[in-house]
Amino acid sequence: MSALSESSSLVRRPSNKDGGVINHDWPTLLLVFAAFITFVVTAAFNGLNGSGAGLGSVFINTVGNISDKYYTYVTPAGFTFTIWSVIYLWIAISLVALIVSLFMHNQKGRLYLNPLFASPLLMVTMSVNFILNLAWIFIFDREYLIAACVILILIAATGIAVVGMMARNVEKYSEEYAKGTDMFIWGILYRFMMNGFAVYATWTVIASLLNFTIALVYAGDTDLKATSLAALSLLVIFHVTWFILENFVFDKYVRYLLTPYLVVMWASNGIRASLASKSDTPAEITSFVLSILVIASITMIIRIIIVVVRSLRKPEKKRISVSAI
Give the number of other Cβ atoms within 10 Å of residue 53's Cβ. Answer: 13
As a whole number, mean pLDDT of residues 237-261 equals 95
Give the number of other Cβ atoms within 10 Å of residue 311's Cβ. Answer: 12
DSSP count for the chain of H helices, then E strands = 11, 2
For residue 211, give the amino acid letter: N
- Asked if 96 contacts 39 with a C-beta cutoff of 8 angstroms, the reply is no
Length of the chain as a residue count: 325
Alpha carbon 77 to chain centroid distance?
21
The answer to whether residue 6 scores a pLDDT higher than 90 is: no
Q: State how far the Cα of 263 lies from the Cα of 139, in Å rounded to an integer.
A: 25
Tens of pLDDT along 187-228? 999 999 999 999 999 999 999 999 999 999 999 999 999 999
224-248 helix and 283-313 helix, angle to the nearest 10 degrees: 10
For residue 264, give the amino acid letter: V
- Asked if 101 contacts 112 with a C-beta cutoff of 8 angstroms, the reply is yes
Measured CA distances, 51 to 57, 61, 85, 148, 208 (Å) = 13, 11, 12, 20, 22
> Closest Cα partner for 203 from 91, 128, 119?
91
Give the number of other Cβ atoms within 10 Å of residue 179's Cβ. Answer: 12
As a whole number, mean pLDDT of residues 121-133 equals 98
Q: State how far the Cα of 223 lies from the Cα of 136, in Å rounded to an integer.
A: 25
Q: Is 157 exposed, middle or buried (0-12, 13-18, 19+ CB in 10 A)?
A: middle
The answer to whether residue 325 scores a pLDDT higher than 70 is: no
71: CB partners within 8 A, 6+ apart: none
As a whole number, mean pLDDT of residues 123-136 equals 98
> Closest Cα partner for 207 from 63, 69, 95?
63
Least confident of 73-77, 105-109, 153-157, 247-251: 105-109
Residue 52 DSSP SS3 = coil
Query: What percent helix, strand, coil does the chain show, rounded to 5?
Result: 75, 0, 25
Whether the pTM exceeds 0.85: the reply is yes
Greatest alpha-carbon span in the chain: 76
pLDDT in the model for residue 22: 59
Give the number of other Cβ atoms within 10 Å of residue 240's Cβ. Answer: 12
Tens of pLDDT along 269-302? 999 999 998 888 999 999 999 999 999 999 999 9
Query: Read out DSSP for 74-115?
Result: TPPPGGGGGHHHHHHHHHHHHHHHHHHHTT-EETTEEGGGTT
Measured CA distances, 288 to 233, 268, 281, 296 (Å) = 9, 10, 12, 12
